[in-house]
Structure 1
Amino acid sequence: MDIKNTNLLNKNRLSAITDANNSLLDGYLQVVEAFSKLTYQSVYVIDYTEMKFEYVSPNPLFLCGYTVEEVMGLGYDFYFKTVPESDLKLLDLINEAGFDFFDRQPADDKKLFSITYDFHLTHKNGKSVLINHKLTPLFLTEEGKMWKAICLVSISHNQMPGNVAIHKEGSDAVWYLNLEQRVWQKSLKPKLTERELEVLRLYAQGLTINQIADKIFVSPDTVKYYRRRIFENFRVTNIVEALAYAVNNKLI
């Protein structure tokens, strides 16, 4: 892959930032660092003026065997060291489609959007893991361009890379990227009944089918019925995928 021509490096690269923009930054990295202590997920911040990482948490998942200082020093070169070429092409496509979508949104709405997708990271030891990557803007320029973004990295609960979706805070709409046609397709988040949500929350607490049945005073077969309904609504095949879907879509 031609690194110099990739959308990863060129799609949203910014020029100099004004003093007015820089005045917004006082103390924000301390907030990011504090947040990173409260989550099991890897946290990092992208600065699009220099295509660098401005903060990287010590969570080992994203580091891939490197130190925080090494990852910070590599910046975007880190992706080219740790992401397989097939997934780099995927990231290139996502980057182009994602920023095109973002640029079309009203300026006042841009900070409401976040994007999530899955790709592989390869550890220094040669082992690869499928991760879920979420990104949302932290700061915009006066022209409404994404200046800094915060990213969260966790283990993916899917089987394959891709699974690209954009969410808008306070909206039931979700936009999914059709990778073959390279177009965004809008849909609404699935709705669960109160009883289905209750069953899903009890699964999240680690209860078995029989324990859930006792808890909500129904038979185990009824719990299985609710579980099947959840799977159908989410278009998943197991409870791990269902819980991941519910968390990613802020349904529980």
Structure 2
Amino acid sequence: MKNNHNFSLLTRNHVGKLSTADLLQQRDYLEAVKSFVRLTYESIYVIDYATMGFEYVSENALFLCGYTPTEVLAMGYDFYFKNVPETDLLLLNQINESGFDFFEKLPHDQKKLYSITYDFHLINEHGKKVLINHKLTPLFLTNEGKLWKAMCIVSISHHQQSGNIAIHKQGTDEVWKLDTDTKLWYKSLKPKLTEREIEVLQLYAQGLTINQIADKLFVAPDTVKYYRRRIFDTLNVSNIVEALAYVVNNKII
């Protein structure tokens, strides 16, 4: 049967044959990073471990702490020393040492599948401490498998204190958490939610109230509260904001 729908929107942009100059643009990977920045509310920056500096910093007030992207770019690692409390600087040093110990033991062909996430405080332009969540994943490795460049994403943390250090492997439920006292990594699995619990969270994410969710699911409001309590217990969180942040950050929904 002939399809009479108009799909011109999907086919209007005919690129045609690509030139050598077009193909060489693939080398400028930062254009892809900048495109991603335009689509997210989070702060993005790139670390170059060869120069021990920043290669790119996006415009985002949360991470910039009152500076411009150009100023943060110029500061590089000095930015941390200027805007991270001393206790959290010690924590970052421990994360750096333990994280690279973990990373160096991985098979070279697996290293890009791993990312690390943790929380620490930044001191903003008003002198107030803000707890942020920091995610880091490899962009480029050297021929020897050393981490050369990494992409970092910064957002508001859903935790109450610094730490919460975890390494995730893409495509799996595997999680390694760091015990800062023993300096050892402990492997676990992401918590599992039922199909109905995920459905409840998705409706909360749409801004629905308990009564509206109950109407959508054809259940009593007390049943929604029951599912909510089970979600909190499973995720080890205390409110719906923390629950939503957890499932988004951990790619559960």
Aligned mates of 1:96, 1:205 — CA distance in 2: 40
Aligned mates of 2:118, 2:25 — CA distance in 1: 29
Paired residues for 1:207-226 under 5 Å: 207-226=208-227
Question: 2:179 matched to 1:156?
Answer: no
Task: Report the equivalent of 1:110.
Answer: 111
Task: Report the equivalent of 2:7.
Answer: none
Task: Report the equivalent of 1:6.
Answer: none
Indicate the SS of the match to 2:39. coil
Pair 1:25–1:77, CA change in 2 (3 A):
farther
Task: Report the equivalent of 1:131.
Answer: 132
Question: 2:195 matched to 1:197?
Answer: no
**Residue type of the partner of 1:147?**
W
Indicate the SS of the match to 1:40. coil
**Residue type of the partner of 2:202?**
R
Displacement after TM superposition at 1:24 (Å): 11
**Residue type of the partner of 2:88?**
D
**Residue type of the partner of 1:107?**
H
Task: Report the equivalent of 1:244.
Answer: 245
Aligned mates of 1:25, 1:108 — CA distance in 2: 22
Pair 1:185–1:25, CA change in 2 (3 A):
farther
What do you get for the CA RMSD once the two structures are aligned? 1.2
Aligned mates of 1:201, 1:87 — CA distance in 2: 34
Aligned mates of 1:71, 1:198 — CA distance in 2: 41
Question: 2:26 matched to 1:31?
Answer: no
Count residues with an aligned counterpart.
230
Indicate the SS of the match to 1:181. coil
Aligned mates of 1:79, 1:24 — CA distance in 2: 32
Aligned mates of 1:188, 1:24 — CA distance in 2: 40
Consecutive unaligned residues of structure 2, counting only runs of 5 or more, are: 1-23
Task: Report the equivalent of 2:182.
Answer: 181
Indicate the SS of the match to 1:250. coil
Per-residue CA shift, 1:185-227, capped at 9, x if unaligned?
Answer: 1101111111011001111111111110000000011101111
**Residue type of the partner of 2:113?**
L
Displacement after TM superposition at 1:26 (Å): 1.3
TM-score normalised to the size of structure 2? Answer: 0.89
Task: Report the equivalent of 1:20.
Answer: none
**Residue type of the partner of 1:131?**
I
Per-residue CA shift, 1:53-111, capped at 9, x if unaligned?
Answer: 00000111110001111101100000000000000000000010111111111111100
Paired residues for 1:47-196 under 5 Å: 47-196=48-197
Moved over 4 A (4+): none
Aligned mates of 2:26, 2:112 — CA distance in 1: 16
TM-score normalised to the size of structure 1? Answer: 0.89
Give the structure, 1 or 2, with the largest relative contact order (CA under 8 Å, sep 6 or more): 1
Identity of aligned residues (%): 70
**Residue type of the partner of 2:54?**
F
- Computing the radius of gyration from Cα coordinates, the structure with the larger value is 2
Aligned mates of 1:196, 1:141 — CA distance in 2: 43
Aligned mates of 1:226, 1:123 — CA distance in 2: 38
Question: 2:228 matched to 1:227?
Answer: yes
Aligned mates of 1:114, 1:251 — CA distance in 2: 16
Displacement after TM superposition at 1:25 (Å): 7.4
Pair 1:237–1:229, CA change in 2 (3 A):
same
